[in-house]
Each structure stands twice: as C-alpha cells, then as structure tokens.
Structure 1
Amino acid sequence: MQLSTALLPTAVMIFYVMHFRKFLQIRPLARAKVLEHMSEGILIADERNRIIDSNPAARSLALGAQGKRFGASLTDLFADHPELKAACTSGEQRRLEAKIGEKWFDVRLIPLRIRDERTGTLLIFADITGRKLAEGELIRRATTDGLTGLSNRLHFFEKLHEAAESCRSSGEPLSLMVIDLDHFKSINDRYGHTTGDRLLCCFSGLLRDAAGSGHTSGRIGGEEFAVFCPGLNGEAAYRLAETIRLRAAGEPIVLENGETIAYTVSIGIAELHGPDMTVESLYAAADNGLYVSKVSGRNRTTLAGRSA
C-alpha cells in the first residue's frame, strides 16, 4: 500500500503528539521510513532538550555539525539563533519564522506531554524561502522607484515622517533638500527618453553616493529628487547640497557614441524648526527654496530663510 507524502507532515505531527511513546517503540526501520519521506525537517528532543531523533530534512539544515548528532543539546544547536533558543528553553508551544543559513523556515515547537508531564519536544521546520523572497520583492516594488532604485515618493515621505518624530524626541536637527534636474525636458526632447532615463539613473547613483548611508534619498517626481538628513542643521545640509550640485555639474554623462551631455541641478533646503512645523510645511519651505533657485538662474542652492 502506498502512502501519499503530501499528507505526511500534518499526519505525523498529530501522530507524534498523541502517540509519542508508542511511536518510539515501533521498529526503527519503520519509523525512519516515515520520517525520511517528509519534506519538513523533524527534530525530536527528550525532556532535557537532547535530540533523540531526526529526519534527513532536519539533518540538512545549516545548523553546524551538532545538528547531525544524537544527544546534541537544542540550546547549543540554536546558539546562533536566540529566538529559537529561547523558545526551546521556555518549553511552551511556539511558532516563529527563522532564517537558517540562506533559507527561511516556519518553525513549530510542540511540547510532548504524557499525563501533564513534559516528555520531550517536537520541532517541525517548513521551508518558506520562496514565500519570504516573494514578500521581499513585493515590499521592494512598493517602496522603491523602479528606474533609479531610490525610495519612491510614498516610502520617502513615510520615512521622513518617522525621522521628524525621532529628531523631535532626541533634539537632533533635521533638514530636507529638494532637487530638480535643470532643463531635463529639453534633454529628453533632444536625445530621447532612453538617454533621459540614463541621466536619471546616473544622477541617482551620484546622489546616493554623495548623500551617504546616514541620509535617505528618494525620487519624488519625474526629474525631482529629495534627501532628508537627520543630524544636519540647515547650514550643514547646505554644504552637502553644494557638494551634490558641484559634482553634478562636473560629471556629465557619456553616451555610447562618446558624446557627453552636461547637466546641472537646482536645490532648495529647509530645516525642521519648532514643534508646530509639520512635514508638509517643511517640504513646502524646501520646495519654495527650489523655486527661488530656478528663477534665480538655476544651478544653485537656496536655504530657506537665507539668501542664495
């Protein structure tokens, strides 16, 4: 008689929980045959959290050499996985997600009891790597601009709101710069959208590099970008913005035919002031600074409340 392996995980789990002692008493060969056909990893520990049985899927987990030895302690086995270690130590029924090596697992810890006395623990490891990768891709698409790889407008302003609250609580300054590529439409019209996209990508790379990891950059419109800078007051942000502006002016993009296209950017900056200044008013002040830079001849930086 053939047994469907699709039904094995749930069936064996129930079997273990309800008939643990009887299961251990059946012939080892029969027990091994059941376990080896399961896609989930199975570890069985005694009341002292020492491994007394496992299946091939569990022994293939990237848990070090101890994962392949009977008698190994679960706390030692999960030394590099604090959440799993704590769950095993608690003796409570738990379900959690854990990254082991390069894979993600849904881990179920089920105490085994006989007459209210814990006689061991059953651990079931279901590979959910595919699901986690899909979730990560959905998050990336929801938060990232598809062309440049920077934060998109929605995600940028969500993070800006969080940073504003954090800086208000800590007393740190926070500044926002809004950046526009000068005459971008003319470049698009003359060289085509492919070249325009290339320019956007090149400037995004420059912006990410110049702003650094401590600051968040985003593409918030067609050729409009923004950077918020926790820890920088307006004057410090102005100096950073000038670095960005001068680099853009000095690093033209090079086309495949060797032709170079020079471009410049205009920037407006505002600093978060007082408890009543909202993120919306901060952006409005920076955007007004950008407007001043553009009407004053472009290729310049304006700090709100200070002459360009």
Structure 2
Amino acid sequence: MRILIVDDSPHHLTMMVYELTKLGYATSVVETGAAAIEAVADERFDVVMADIRLTDMTGIELCWHLRTAQGLRHLYLILMIPGSMTDQFHELVEAGADEFLRKPLDWKWTAARLLAASRVVAMQRDLERLATTDALTGSMNRRRFLERGDEEFNRSRRYGRPLSVVMLDIDHFKRVNDTYGHATGDEAIRSTVRACKESLRTSDIIGRLGGEEFAVVMPETPPVNAYAVAQRLRQAVAAMPVRLETGGEMTVTVSLGLSWLNATDTGIEPLLARADAALYRAKHAGRNRVEVEPRIALPKSLAG
C-alpha cells in the first residue's frame, strides 16, 4: 500500500516516514497541498495522510480537491488534526476525509487504523477492476482507456513529450463468427489482445473500445517509432494461433491506423479520431496493413 504524506514540518515528515516504513508501507512526501494534488495526478497512491494545517490550503480544502479529481480511483484520505480540536468532525467527513487521527500520533492506534484502511483499499481495487476491465480480454474497457489516454495526453502536453496512438480492428471478423461460431470469434479477440500485450511495453496502454476494435496509447513514442511498433503488432497478431471450437487452429489479421500528438490537440479524442481515419483507409486499401494520419513519408525499411 502506497501512502502520500502531506505535512509542512520536516521533522514530522521524517518521523512519519520512519514509522510507516517500519510498518511495511511505501511512502512519498510533499509539503504543500498543491504538491499533493500534482503528485496524486502523476502517480498512484492508495492512502493520503495530510496535516489539516498546510501553508497553501487547509487539509479540508485538499480533501475536496483530491475527491473532485479522483474519478474511479478511490483514495483513502486521512487528516491529521491537533489534539485540541473538538468540533468540525462532520465538516471533515463532508469534505471527503475517511479518517482523522490526532497529533501527536499514537503509532499503535495509527497502525491499527492503517490496517483497517488496507481492507477498504483492497475492496476498492476489486471494485475498480470490475468497473474498468473488459471481461472478455482483461484489457481496459472503453471508459477506463479514455481516462488513461487523457492522463497520458496531459502528461505529454505538460512536459512536451511525444505521444502516439494506434487503432486496430480484426479483419473480416463477421466472416470468422459466421464460419466458425461466436466462441471462436471470442477466442480471436482474446488472441489479438494477447499478441498485442506480448509486443508492447508495460508503459503502453491497450483497451477494447467495442466489438473487434482496440486502441493503444504509446507514451514517449514519436511517429517513426510508433509506426515500427504498429508493424510489429500487425505481424504478431497474424502469427498468433486462434484455437477453433471444434479443434485445430486458424489465424486472423488486423488493420491499423496510427496518429500522434500535435500542437492543436485538446485531449486524446482528436488523436483517436485521426487514427480511426487512418484505420478506415487501411481497411479500404486491402487490410492487414498500417496507415498513418496525417500522411507523412516514412523510411522504406519500416514498410511491411
């Protein structure tokens, strides 16, 4: 369980890191509410432990900001309050706090409360997995994929880094269903995702958008590199055997469309729209190929 500590006292931060590390938790530290908001946007934390009095905002305000921005990813929020506080408890919970602990922290009590928090975090992870995962393939569903795509878009835009996206679609999928049955069609979908995952980095994001259509977001990947990846995906899917319901095997191919971040994009959707247009051209140019949008000259060594 990862814990973000938010406190403007260096002494208290050092002490908390020491005690939480002894309890087996991974920790990160920031000193302001604004830094906490940025850290949660960039990294995944399970628990935030924040002092109620920060230099740039109150802990209550920080809770409100974190709750507003969390989306499907639930954070367990713990506010650390002075021992003299005897009211505002309802306000703390209304702002989004799950728990409040009195300073100075009683570490036996804190350890027990964090154990209880870990159970809540585990349940939230299970609920999140159900809400964000495509049941057939185990990849992200459309909603979660678009959320993660926008997160990567915002990160790439903020730091001026390249970002590419690929749309891919199984060729002649209706014919597969009609000829071999829906069970084989489902296996073709699973095999396609399996082939893609084996060819992608752990930092790449794949989602099933619906039916036999998938998309991939590739952070830190300029167009030429992304084109090479798209060709590898195409080849990997064509080489992946699909088990037939009646025994034996077959193979399928995919058509792919590629696009990348440009200066006028306002989110991940425009990139996906351009990739979809390129996918449409790939379908009409014979299938089992990669097209790009906008059209640019690519090294002949990458063609395939």
TM-score tier by shorter-chain length is 0.5 to 0.7
Is 1:291 aligned with 2:300?
A: no
The answer as to whether partners of 1:267 and 1:300 remain within 8 angstroms in 2 is yes
The answer as to whether partners of 1:267 and 1:290 remain within 8 angstroms in 2 is yes
Distance apart, 1:108 and its partner CA: 6.1
List gaps (5 residues or longer) in structure 2: 1-14, 30-47, 52-79, 90-97, 298-302
Matching residue of 2:130: 141
1:1-308 alignment to 2 at 5 Å?
Answer: 78-80=20-22, 81=25, 92=82, 109-110=101-102, 123=109, 125-126=112-113, 127-128=116-117, 130-255=119-244, 257-276=246-265, 278-304=267-293, 305-306=295-296
Matching residue of 1:23: none
Gap change, CA 1:74 and 1:166, over 3 Å in 2: closer
Equivalent position SS for 1:220: strand
What amino acid is aligned across from residue 138 of structure 1 in structure 2? L
The answer as to whether partners of 1:107 and 1:123 remain within 8 angstroms in 2 is no
The answer as to whether partners of 1:110 and 1:122 remain within 8 angstroms in 2 is no
Gap change, CA 1:195 and 1:140, over 3 Å in 2: same
The answer as to whether partners of 1:211 and 1:227 remain within 8 angstroms in 2 is no
Distance apart, 1:78 and its partner CA: 4.0
The answer as to whether partners of 2:162 and 2:261 remain within 8 angstroms in 1 is yes
Q: List per-residue Cα deviations over 1:9-63 (Å, max 9, x = no partner).
A: xxxxxxxxxxxxxxxxxxxxxxxxxxxxxxxxxxxxxxxxxxxxxxxxxxxxxxx
Distance apart, 1:149 and its partner CA: 1.0
Distance 2:18 2:267 in 1: 50
Distance apart, 1:175 and its partner CA: 0.7
Distance apart, 1:173 and its partner CA: 0.9
Rg larger in 1 or in 2? 1
Gap change, CA 1:266 and 1:138, over 3 Å in 2: same
The answer as to whether partners of 1:109 and 1:121 remain within 8 angstroms in 2 is no
The answer as to whether partners of 2:81 and 2:100 remain within 8 angstroms in 1 is no
TM-score, normalised to structure 1's length? Answer: 0.61
Distance 1:86 1:165 in 2: 26
Q: List per-residue Cα deviations over 1:266-304 (Å, max 9, x = no partner).
A: 000011111445432211110010001000010000011
The answer as to whether partners of 1:110 and 1:123 remain within 8 angstroms in 2 is no
List gaps (5 residues or longer) in structure 1: 1-72, 96-105, 112-117
Q: Percent identity?
A: 34
TM-score, normalised to structure 2's length? Answer: 0.62
Gap change, CA 1:78 and 1:186, over 3 Å in 2: same
Gap change, CA 1:277 and 1:123, over 3 Å in 2: closer
Gap change, CA 1:180 and 1:108, over 3 Å in 2: same
Q: List per-residue Cα deviations over 1:191-226 (Å, max 9, x = no partner).
A: 221111111112111111211211111101110000
Distance apart, 1:185 and its partner CA: 1.2
Distance 2:102 2:191 in 1: 53
What amino acid is aligned across from residue 185 of structure 1 in structure 2? K
What amino acid is aligned across from residue 168 of structure 1 in structure 2? R
